[in-house]
Structure 1
Amino acid sequence: MRVAVPTETKPEEYRVAVTPAGVRELVADGHEVVVQAGAGLASDITDEDFRRVGARITDDVDALWHWAGLICKVKEPQPPEIARLREGQVLFAYLHLAPDEAQTRGLLASGASCVAYETVTDDQGRLPLLAPMSAVAGRLSAQIGARLLEGIHGGRGLLMGGVPGVPAARVLVIGAGVVGSNAIRVALGMGADVTVLDVDLDRLAHLDARFGAALTTRHSSRLAVEESLARADLVIGAALVPGALTPQLVSRDQLRLMPRGAALVDVAIDQGGCFATSHPTTHHDPTYWVDDVLHYCVANMPSAVAATATRALANATQPYLVRLANGGIDGLTTDHQLRAGLNVHRGMVTNAAVAAAHGMEHVRADEALLED
């Protein structure tokens, strides 16, 4: 298989999809790997690091995309990249198609087969390629939230952990999954007063056993959300519905319950966001105000720590990438874990949540593969 690793073109995206370790595994299995010049520099990986393990380096972007059978990226392809895709190619990347109809239609028109990291499963039905970036984003969300509370950023002028005689900041985490548990870990480590909301009592019980009395757990309901918002200095949105639009858990009316100068971090923004007032922002211009509440809604948060995030992501994706390269798209007929990641295949939407989000026809992945 011809495997291409292009430089990311999404604004302020500094990660690279494959590390030298991944290149070494692909080459050992007989695949050709070409990396775009400079693709790994922001992740502290040089072109020579890639060459040393058998990759070729090119600065000809058009030739790279035309040559490839399998294109491995981090973030969703941008319009010029979608225009380069063609039928028969396989794209492996985060796609987050449910809130992005334009990208979905572009990928359909390309005829390519598009496997999304965020819906690939493991043998227990978990999302192993989403988990590492969820962990990074969760930990970042508490760090970023602490800065947003500082008066120099327009916040309430609060220190997360307080000091003797002055209370700690009150942090509300909505969602007790990977993002939420990592946000809780860091916020508690900073000394904050943390509450988590979730409808899953088993998850709440797990967090209660893990963190004990330091963490307040509440079953999520409209009343619980409203009561918790009214006392929160910082809210971290950590809800997830795999592959689908994130449900809006906080309305604008409910947002007005928050104290003046409070902040929110919407980690779910790449799936549409869980606050009614959320819209995507960038690292260059990350925040905006709505009703005296400071919003942070950067859709590629882990890019801020690219050296860490690249390696965490590649550790998870590497075995799946090798399997995809070894088996090609035909291998998905027997590989149900990778098949769960197939969102678009030769002009067909093969993920039910994406089809529902855009009112498009859904063709099951196994059926779409049989049509080849």
Structure 2
Amino acid sequence: MIVGLPKEIKKQEYRVALTPAGCEMIVKQGHGVVVERQAGEGSGFADAEYLDAGAGLVESAQEVWSTADLIVKVKEPLSEEFAFFREGQILFTYLHLAAAPDLAQALVNRRVTAIAYETIQAPNGSLPLLTPMSEVAGRMAVQEGAKYLEAFQGGRGVLLGGVPGVPPAEVIIIGGGIVGTNAAKMALGLGADVVVLEKSADRMRYLDDVFQGRLRTLTSNSYNIANAVRKADLLIGAVLVPGARAPRLVTEEMVKTMKKGAVIVDVAVDQGGSIATIDRATTHENPTYEKHGVIHYAVANMPGAVPRTSTLALTNVTIDYILQLADKGFEVSVQNNPMLALGVNACRGAITHPQVAEAVSLPYAKLESLW
């Protein structure tokens, strides 16, 4: 099989889907790798490193897409890449189709086999290919939130950890999963007062044990959310429903009660956002906007700001799946690996993930019915 690695074209997206080390592993298994020139440059990987790993370099994305059987990316294809789609080709990337109906329709029309990193799911409910980017995003949410609390950024002028004699900032985290847990680690490390709202009692017990009572947990319901949001200096949206749009848990009326100069960071923006006033995604170039006196940070590819860390972490978890697909082909791989099968969002002209189908208003077909 030929694996293709195009350069990411989303604005200020410097990650790449495969490191030279990952490339070498694929080549040693007897497969080919084609890499678009400068694809890894933003993550600090030179073309020469891919050549040394056994890859071939091509001049354009079109050459990668037209040559490769399996395309590996970081972010969802943009509209200018839709023309490269071809029937039977495997696309392996973060898709987030619930917030991208045009992409879903293009994948169906071109009969592309599309596997989403974010819906590959283990029996315990964990999302192994989403986890490393969620870890990065959770930590960055606090880092960025702290920055925009500074007065010259439009914030309240509050230091997260306070100083002796001055109370710390209130950090409210909605969602106690991977993003929320990593955000809590960072916020606690900076000395903030942290509250996590979570709907699972078992998860709250886990957080209480892990953090030894250094943070507070609250059951996530509209009453508790409203009261917590009102007190927040930094509010972090950290909820995820695999394949589906994020639930809107914070209403516009709740945001209106927040302190002037408070900051919201919604990590779920690429799934539609969990906060009502997050009505558009922003970029690293223009990351924030103000609404109701509150600073909103809504960058949809937060880990792209630390591309080397993110690229290394991503390849660590995707490479085994890439090798499996290359060695065994698509059908055998998904039949033998139920976790990978859950990642298939589109196949042979159909949407094969029920939550995605519902979100984009397209017909759903069970994957096994398409063989």
Q: Same fold by TM (over 0.5)? A: yes
Matches for 1:76-87 after TM superposition, within 5 Å: 76-87=76-87
In 1: Cα distance, 2:212 partner to 2:218 partner: 13
* Counterpart for residue 134 of structure 1: 134
Q: CA deviation at 1:77?
A: 0.6
Aligned identity (percent) is: 46
SS of residue paired to 1:207 = helix
Q: What does the per-residue CA deviation read over 1:281-322, in whole Å, with 9 as the maximum and x for residues that have no partner?
A: 111111011111110010000000001000001101110111
* Counterpart for residue 118 of structure 1: 118
Higher mean C-alpha displacement, 162-171 vs 324-333: 324-333
In 1: Cα distance, 2:60 partner to 2:232 partner: 51
Q: What does the per-residue CA deviation read over 1:67-104, in whole Å, with 9 as the maximum and x for residues that have no partner?
A: 11110000001112121010011000000000111111
Higher mean C-alpha displacement, 228-237 vs 208-217: 208-217
Q: What does the per-residue CA deviation read over 1:319-366, in whole Å, with 9 as the maximum and x for residues that have no partner?
A: 011111112222223321211110011210001001111222100112
In 2: Cα distance, 1:29 partner to 1:341 partner: 23
For the structure 1 residues 329 and 43, does the alpha-carbon distance in structure 2 shift closer, same or farther, using more than 3 Å as the test?
same
* Counterpart for residue 97 of structure 2: 97
The question of 1:25 aligning with 2:34 is answered: no
* Counterpart for residue 358 of structure 2: 356
Q: Is the 8 A contact 2:168 2:192 kept in 1?
A: yes
SS of residue paired to 1:229 = helix
In 2: Cα distance, 1:316 partner to 1:101 partner: 27
Query: Residue 85 of structure 2 aligns to which amino acid in structure 1?
Result: L
Query: Residue 30 of structure 1 aligns to which amino acid in structure 2?
Result: G
In 2: Cα distance, 1:306 partner to 1:122 partner: 26
Counting matched residue pairs gives: 369
Higher mean C-alpha displacement, 135-144 vs 337-346: 337-346
* Counterpart for residue 168 of structure 1: 168
Higher mean C-alpha displacement, 299-308 vs 63-72: 63-72
Q: CA deviation at 1:53?
A: 1.3
Query: Residue 313 of structure 2 aligns to which amino acid in structure 1?
Result: A
Q: Is the 8 A contact 1:174 1:180 kept in 2?
A: yes
Query: Residue 129 of structure 1 aligns to which amino acid in structure 2?
Result: L
* Counterpart for residue 365 of structure 1: 367
The question of 1:344 aligning with 2:346 is answered: yes
SS of residue paired to 2:213 = helix
Matches for 1:196-345 after TM superposition, within 5 Å: 196-278=196-278, 279-331=280-332, 332-345=334-347
In 1: Cα distance, 2:215 partner to 2:354 partner: 36
In 2: Cα distance, 1:326 partner to 1:124 partner: 27
In 2: Cα distance, 1:47 partner to 1:162 partner: 46
Q: Is the 8 A contact 1:83 1:110 kept in 2?
A: no
In 2: Cα distance, 1:258 partner to 1:73 partner: 38
Q: TM-score, normalised by structure 2?
A: 0.98
Output the aligned Cα RMSD.
1.0
Matches for 1:52-91 after TM superposition, within 5 Å: 52-91=52-91
Query: Residue 333 of structure 1 aligns to which amino acid in structure 2?
Result: Q
Q: Is the 8 A contact 2:120 2:342 kept in 1?
A: yes
Q: Which runs of 5+ in 2 are unaligned?
A: none
Q: TM-score, normalised by structure 1?
A: 0.97
In 2: Cα distance, 1:194 partner to 1:83 partner: 47
* Counterpart for residue 159 of structure 2: 159
Higher mean C-alpha displacement, 297-306 vs 124-133: 124-133
Q: Which runs of 5+ in 1 are unaligned?
A: none
